[in-house]
Every structure is written in structure tokens, then in C-alpha cells.
A = this chain, B = another copy of it.
Amino acid sequence: MSDNHEKYRGIHPIVPTAFREDGSFDPDSQRRLVDYLVKIGVQGVAILGFLGEAHKLTEGERRDVIETVMDQAAGRLKVLVGVRALGTAGAIAQAREARELGADAVFAAPLTIQNDNALYTYYRELAEESGIDVLIHDFPENFTTILSPELIGRLANEVPGIVGIKLEEPPVLVKTSQVLKLAPQLAVLGGLGGVYFLEELQRGAVGIMTGFAYSEVLLEIWQLYTAGEHEAAARVFDHYCPLLRYEFQPKLGLPFRKHVFMKRGIFASDFSRSPGLKLDEQSRAELEATIRRVGLDLDPVVI
């Protein structure tokens, strides 16, 4: 097991940013979410990604979110911070801020430019000039940029600071194997709402970074799988599959997860900033019905 594998194994929920009803950042809710994650025992928390509405925040709000989460985490779980900017300088500034505030790593979106040399330079400069561990965020559905396995392998093998990848280009399992063949030391984290988590583990992923609202389910699957209980892991995965599938719908992930967190008493509000789809009544009813069908609930959690 490589150092990267050891450091980034496990469940790293990517979480929404909590807002009050008036749209301002709600640090109390954000702290409750951290406590909840600590309580269920996940290995890390990933903030300020696409799900975290990072692109809808000002620079000052970014800083607030990081400081709040760092303070509440207090070393009880790793903190990973999303980086996404229109150019290299902005990305480096974000990564440096994350390092200065004590984060463990950043997960960084590519530039919106389809040119392997430019992308290589971008990630290399980002890692070298920020001095913090960098995980590549490979999510073309939202970022439009395609990162080839060859480019990822080259970055992993030539740039010490590139330690992992949140891999979300479908078909994600085939790409997981391609990337690990080229760079076996890379920490591959699954994503895509956990919909392929069982097979991601079978392919060599060391964990997952995704927004699925019930992280305890992913944790159970991972604990069973890494304990060698492969059949039990599959049974648990299959059991929750209807919900994993339903909850992972493009554009609906954010309202679904904020709704669950609000109902469970973690977030005070399900407010999300525009632009973005609001939760319609029928989708809400379907979500709740699916949650109940797999035996979960929406009762307030005790933290």
C-alpha cells in the first residue's frame, strides 16, 4: 500500500455549504454536519466542491467555510478543500489558502481547456506552488474537460504533489483500472454518488469522495469490503442500491442532500443559491419513499 493509499483511504463525504434562509452562510449548521460526520466515523470531509456551491461564493465566504470546518473538525477527521478557478493563478491562491488554514489536501478541477500540455502545466504548477497535496477532480459532466488516463498517469508519476484522484468520467470503472495500471500508487477515490462503489473497490479504489446523503451506508460497505467480507459488502451495497441510484440524478443531488440534512436536523435550512434546480414536490416524495423502502429514515439525528 502506497503512502497515498494509506493517507486517503476511506469515506470522504463531499458536503454542501449550509445557508440560512436569507442566503447567508450558516456556520452553526456547517458545524453540526462536521460533528455528525465525526460521530459516524468517516475518515474525512470534502468541502467547497461543485456540490458545496463553491462557485457561488465570494472569496471571503470561501475563507469562512474553511475556517469554520477546520475549527470544528479539530483534527478529528481530514479536511479536503475544492479548488476551481478560471486560471492557474486563482487556483494556486485557493490552494495556498487551504494549506495556510490547515487543510490536508485540495481536490482541484481542471481548467476549461482541452489541451494536454496546458493541463499538465496547470496541475504541476498548482501542486508545486501551493505545497499541499493535490487530488485531481475528474468530472467532465460539469467541468467539460476530458483528462486522459495517460495525462493522469504522467501527472501522478512526475509530480510528487499529485497524490490522488476523484474519478468521475464514465464509464468510471474501466477508467479506474486504466489509471491504476499507469500509476498504481495513486489514491483513487470513487464518486458518482456511490452508484458504482462496490466495483470501484474491486478495481482498486481506496475509498470514495461523494455526496450521498447517508455516509454511514458507504462506510459500512467499505468496512466490510476492506475486512475481506466481500459478499457481505455486496449484500449491503445491493440493499441500498435503489436509493444510491435514485439520489444520484444530475442537477438534483444538491436539493436532495440539503433536504435530507434539514429533515435530519443537521442543516437549519435547505436553501441553495441560484442558479440551480429547486426540489419539486414529486421528487421530494419519491426521494422519501425510496429512503424508507431501503429501511432508512429522516428522523433527527442525535449528534
Contact = CB atoms under 8 A, between A and B. Distances in A.
A179 B15 CA distance: 32
Given A195-B245, A275-B113, A277-B171, A55 B286 contact: no
Contact of A251 (B170, B282, B293, B294): B170
Contacts of A174: 252, 277, 280, 283
B56 A88 contact: yes
A114 interface: yes
B88 A57 contact: no
Contacts of A75: none
Interface in A65-107: 84-90, 92-93
Given A87-B57, A122-B275, A274-B118, A250 B171 contact: yes
B282 A203 contact: yes
Given A171-B277, A202-B286, A293-B238, A55 B90 contact: yes
A186 B26 CA distance: 40
Contacts of A288: none
B59 A59 contact: yes
A202 B199 CA distance: 30
A93 B59 contact: yes
A251 B245 CA distance: 19
A118 B280 CA distance: 18
A225 interface: no
A267 interface: no
A234 interface: yes
Contacts of A118: 274-275
Interface residues of A, number: 60
A41 interface: no
Contacts of A53: 87
A299 to B, nearest CB: 22
Contact of A55 (B86, B117, B249): B86
Contact of A89 (B58, B246, B249): B58
A250 B87 contact: no
Contacts of A251: 170-171
A38 interface: no
A271 interface: no
A283 B115 CA distance: 21
A223 interface: no
A274 B114 contact: no
Contacts of A241: 238, 241-242, 245
Interface of A: 53-59, 61, 84-90, 92-93, 111-115, 117-118, 121-122, 146, 170-174, 177, 195-196, 199, 202-203, 234, 237-238, 241-242, 244-246, 249-252, 273-275, 277, 280, 282-283, 286, 293-294
18 contacts: A55-B85, A56-B86, A58-B92, A86-B86, A87-B273, A118-B274, A170-B251, A171-B250, A172-B249, A173-B286, A174-B280, A174-B283, A195-B245, A202-B286, A238-B242, A238-B293, A244-B245, A245-B245
